[in-house]
Chain A
Amino acid sequence: MSKVIMTGNEAVARGAYEAGCYVAAAYPGTPSTEILENVGEHYSADIYSQWACNEKVAAEIVSGASIGGARALCAMKHVGMNVAMDPIFTMAYAGVNGGLVIVTADDPGCHSSQNEQDNRLYAPHAKLAMLEPSDSEECKEFTKAAFALSERFDIPVLLRMTTRVCHSKGLVELEERENVPVRKYERRADKFAMLPAVARVRHMIREESLADMENYSNACSYNRVENTGGSKVGVITSGISYQYAKEVFGDTVNYLKLGLTFPLPRNLIREFAARMDTLYIIEENEPYLENAVRAMGFACIGKDKIPVCGELNTEIVRRCLLGDSSGAGYEVSAQAPARPPVMCAGCPHRGFFYTVSKNLKKVVSAGDIGCYALGINEPLNGFDYSICMGAGLSSIIGLAKALELQGDSRKALGMVGDSTFFHSGMNSLVDVVSADANVIACVLDNSITAMTGHQQNPGTARNLMGLPSPQVDLVTLIRATGIGEDRIRVVDPMDLEALQAAIDAGLAVTGPFVIVTKSPCALLKEVIKANAGKHCVIHSDRCKGCKMCMKVACPAIAFENGKAVIADVASCNGCGLCKQMCKFDAIERIGE
């Protein structure tokens, strides 16, 4: 078969296909998103795949498939795994019927995440087997191995990736799909009905099987020693850190390259470490391997030299371990200005955040995870804090109490997007209503999961496999809480007057108030098509240079020679927000 160039994510999808996976589910999250996108796009004939409304639901969908006898895979970003751990901890006791693979895509360096938690620590905590691929080829190979090991040892397997593995491309050899029949479903209440009496037994069985699996770990091909004659320097490493180690040390040292990292091959580690005069442990973030090596009584060099925080690369490993900073590059005195990501020209969130920013004396604003997180930036300063998916609506219940206790008269205002509403914001809103919280809860519906690159969600009427699907109407869901029609406003966020009126209505009442802003993402294909040829122009003879239009922070508008101009006509879609800001009628929409 041919070799093709693939990202780690594409290779995991390919591995699932080749391994005879039948069911796959995920909630989108960088850097994991493309795994399920590729399953949906390329392998729909053989694998049923879907976006779940959150990671816990995804893990439960594939748990059911596994119990039913079908090989199944779910994928999530590292913080998504926090959401999914409830079913995963229990499935680790239960084991599987069809092979069950859980992919975690960690993000050392927080490239696009709120933390850089190291999900390797979940493997011993939950008692999951764990494989760590270090490049695209291994992503495919280890995905297939994960299914086989899951069935052989009756255990869910965690496939642990990192951003640099997910989003790097390398050559991968393609193979055919294995013919793995769905295992017959039989009632196994002694295994899957996790009541206390069952759980106590399953826990003991799991401990025994992990001991068995450790024997396998000591002997398997996924954990390998690469010896270099004569050297007494050893490196123990796993995942992407192996690649950094190889580039720094080349063939001058011995390696213990670990692929199956839970249960750890302690005998193999012991034999390797005992032969070395100097032992380096090279790993990103937490000292997971290092703690295990130290617990076996071996001295080693690890996190005393290599930082816990941030992503590694060869230059950092070389500098930290060898003290070699000779690789320093060129320097000039000029500095590049910061280039933070911004809301796109025509983004409907801009109208929302501009209006919120005008009300900051009356509200304290809480954000959430999505494109609208960009509303935090200057000059909009559209919210004060953001925590995790859904907290934009639930944290304001507590915030409102705290503000009340200190006599702060401002009202708590929180927000989630449409996808985040379906993810966990729904639960938050139920509590907002049932607690009669004195808050304004906003749902910013742009008809897509935008930040991760336009994934469908329950509100978009289309599924991951490209087929039409039933549409779940979020306004109907909100009404179903019983909040009352007089406490709900559905507005176009680009209509600044209507949005301000909605906020005023929310401020005028005590208790919960819901604002749904409805306007599709400007980058959706149908929106681009509908806006083709439309853009704004600023008539310089009428522009007074007051910079009011700059207050909406649109990347298409620049200020040159004392006048505002539409500098990037190609990206302007004529949304007209700037026109609403102009008091001198200097801005005109063209192409309508």
Chain B
Amino acid sequence: MTKSILLVGVGGQGTILISKILSEGLAQMGYDVKMSEIHGMSQRGGSVTTQVKYGEKVYAPNIGVGEADLIISSEKSETLRALSYLKKGGAIITDDHEIYPMPVLTGAASYPHDAIEQLSAVVPNVRTVRAGAVAGSLGNVRAQNIVLLGALVKSMGLTGVDWEELVARYVPAKAKDLNLAAFRAGFEM
């Protein structure tokens, strides 16, 4: 059975990095894995989406509307934007972190502060993980993505892989200890 994970966030939050670590770990577990990312203009503060699918045999690398088993999000309005991709019965893990896009900064649009309440009203399985806050308390909010990775690995039951070794391999050497602490914090939440 193929599992589909949609990872969303804002350019600069490290969504692509944790997708790479996740894909590598899933390959080590012996799964067929495909990961799809769209980058280019999204590097400049736009929405970022990556998609990871794994199972015995994976064909399409991307996820259509109503096909994701899990949405993992580092920004709550992005969770809202991604909602239609969630499968009926699927789960959401989201940070309650807010990053205001330019139309909100200029007052042309309003920010949905109650996004998580709205989501929780229709999706039975919504979990809020304050990954940004946890990463901040560990020393740098930039480790937010790795906190989320820890939470994701735990929730999908992806054991049998040395995730900490993978995290250490993919993050900058000087940020290794911080990121390992971030991974453990996310895993134990």
For the A-B complex, the count of residue pairs with Cβ-Cβ distances under 8 Å equals 188
| Assembled-state Cα–Cα distance A112/B48 (Å) | 13
Q: Tell me the chain B residues, 8-51 only, with Cβ under 8 Å from chain A.
A: 10-12, 20, 23-24, 27, 32-47
The chain A residues found within 8 Å of chain B, CB to CB, are: 3, 5, 30-31, 111-112, 135, 163-164, 167-171, 240, 242-244, 246-247, 313-316, 318, 327-344, 371, 374, 377-379, 451-453, 550, 553, 555, 557-559, 567, 570-571
Q: A169-B35, A334-B114, A335-B112 are in contact. Are A374 and B103 (CB under 8 A)?
A: no
Distance (whole angstroms) from the CB of A18 to the closest CB of chain B: 20
Complex-state Cα separation, A168 to B80, whole angstroms: 24
* Residues of B with C-beta under 8 A to A328: 65-66, 84
B46→A332 contact, CB < 8 A: no
Q: Within the assembled complex, what's the spacing in Å between the Cα atoms of A553 and B45?
A: 13
Q: How far is the CA of A559 from the CA of B102 in the complex (A)?
A: 11
Evaluate contact between A555 and B77: CB separation under 8 angstroms.
no
Residue in B23, B46, B65, B83 with the greatest tally of chain A CB atoms within 10 Å: B65
Our pick among A243, A313, A453 for the contact of B63 (Cβ within 8 Å) is: A313
In whole angstroms, how far apart are the Cα atoms of A19 and B100 in the complex? 48
**B59 close to A329 (CB less than 8 A):** no
Instruction: Across the A-B interface, give the 4 residue pairs with the lowest CB-CB distance, nearest first.
Output: A315-B64, A112-B40, A168-B61, A336-B81
| Contacting residues, chain A, for B158 (C-beta < 8 A) | none
Q: Are B83 and A337 in contact (CB under 8 A)?
A: no
CB <8 Å contact, A246 and B80: no
Docked pose: A452 CA to B41 CA in angstroms: 8
Q: Are B111 and A329 in contact (CB under 8 A)?
A: no
Could you list which residues of chain B lie within 8 angstroms of chain A, going by C-beta atoms? Answer: 10-12, 20, 23-24, 27, 32-47, 58-68, 77-78, 80-81, 83-88, 100-112, 114-115, 118-119, 121-123, 141-142
A339–B44 touching, CB < 8 Å: no
CB distance from B111 to the nearest CB of A (A): 6
Are B105 and A558 closer than 8 Å at their CB atoms?
Answer: yes
Known: A331-B83, A338-B103, A550-B106. 7 other contacts (CB 8 A): A167-B39, A169-B33, A169-B61, A171-B32, A329-B66, A329-B67, A341-B41
Please, which residue of chain A has its CB at the minimum distance from the CB of B117?
A: A334
Which chain A residue lies CB-closest to B100?
A558
In whole angstroms, what is the CA distance A571 to B11 when docked? Answer: 12
Most buried by A among B37, B102, B108: B102
Residues of chain B contacted by A559 (CB below 8 angstroms): 105, 107
Establish whether residues A337 and B103, one from each chain, have CB atoms under 8 Å apart when the complex forms. yes
Residues of B within 8 A of A327 (CB): 64-67, 87
B61 touches A334 (CB 8 A): no
Take A334-B115, A555-B105 as given contacts and tell me if A315 and B66 are in contact as well, using a CB distance cutoff of 8 Å. Answer: yes
Report chain B residues within 8 Å CB of A163.
Answer: 38
Are the CB atoms of A330 and B122 closer together than 8 Å? yes
Residues of B with C-beta under 8 A to A246: 59-60
CB-based contact B40/A30 at 8 Å: yes
Contact B11 A330 (CB under 8 A): no
What are 8 inter-chain pairs, A to B, with CB distance below 8 A? A169-B33, A246-B59, A247-B59, A329-B86, A336-B78, A337-B111, A341-B41, A555-B45
Measured in the bound complex, the distance between the Cα atoms of B45 and A573 in whole Å is: 16
Given A112-B40, A167-B39, are A334 and B84 also a contact pair (CB < 8 Å)? no
Asked, given contacts A5-B27, A167-B37, whether A314 binds B61 with beta carbons under 8 Å apart, the answer is: no
Complex contacts, A315 vs chain B, CB 8 Å: 64-67
Q: Which residues of A contact B87 (CB under 8 A)?
A: 327, 329
B167 to chain A, nearest CB (A): 16
B84 contact set on A, CB distance < 8 A = 328-331
- CB distance A313 to B60 under 8 Å? yes
Q: Is the CB of B115 within 8 A of A337?
A: no
Closest chain-A Cβ to B140's Cβ sits at a distance in Å of 9
Q: Is the CB of A336 within 8 A of B60?
A: no
Q: Which residue of A lies closest to B31 (CB)?
A: A171
- In the complex, the chain A residue whose C-beta lies closest to that of B110 is A337
Known: A167-B39, A168-B62, A553-B102. Contact between A342 and B44, CB under 8 A? yes
A452 to B112, CA, bound (A): 32
A336→B118 CA distance, assembly (Å): 12
Do residues A341 and B45 form an inter-chain contact, with CB atoms below 8 A?
yes
Which residue of A243, A329, A555 is within 8 Å of B83 (Cβ)?
A: A329
In the complex, A329→B80 CA distance in Å?
12
Which chain B positions have C-beta within 8 A of A374? Answer: 44
Contact of A330 with B101 at beta-carbon distance under 8 Å, contacts A243-B59, A336-B81, A371-B44 already known: no
Contacts of B39 in A (CB 8 A): 30, 167
- Nearest A residue to B84 via CB reads A329
Chain A residues whose C-beta falls within 8 Å of the C-beta of B101 in the assembled complex: 337-340, 342
Kindly name the residue among A330, A339, A451 whose own CB sees the greatest number of chain B CB atoms within 10 A: A339
Are A164 and B107 within 8 A (Cβ)?
no
Contacts of A453 in B (CB 8 A): 43
Closest to A343 in B: B44
* Nearest neighbor of A345 in chain B, beta-carbon distance: B45
Cross-interface CB contact of A378 among B23, B37, B108, B119, cutoff 8 Å:
B108
**Chain A residues within 8 Å of B64, by CB:** 313-316, 318, 327
Q: Out of B23, B81, B83, B111, name the residue touching A330 (CB < 8 Å).
A: B83
- How far apart sit A378 and B157, CA to CA, in the bound complex (Å)? 45
Residue of B nearest to A555 (CB): B45
B87, chain A: closest CB distance, angstroms: 7
Chain B residues positioned under 8 Å from A314 (CB to CB): 60, 62, 64, 67
Check B38 against A167 for contact (C-beta < 8 Å). Answer: yes
Given contacts A330-B84, A336-B80, contact A378 B106 (CB under 8 A): yes
* Minimal beta-carbon separation of A441 from chain B (angstroms): 25
- Known contacts A5-B33, A371-B44, A555-B102; is A333 also within 8 Å of B38 by CB? no
**A170-B33 contact in complex given A339-B101, A378-B108, A559-B105, C-beta closer than 8 Å:** yes
CA distance A169 to B34 in the complex (A): 5
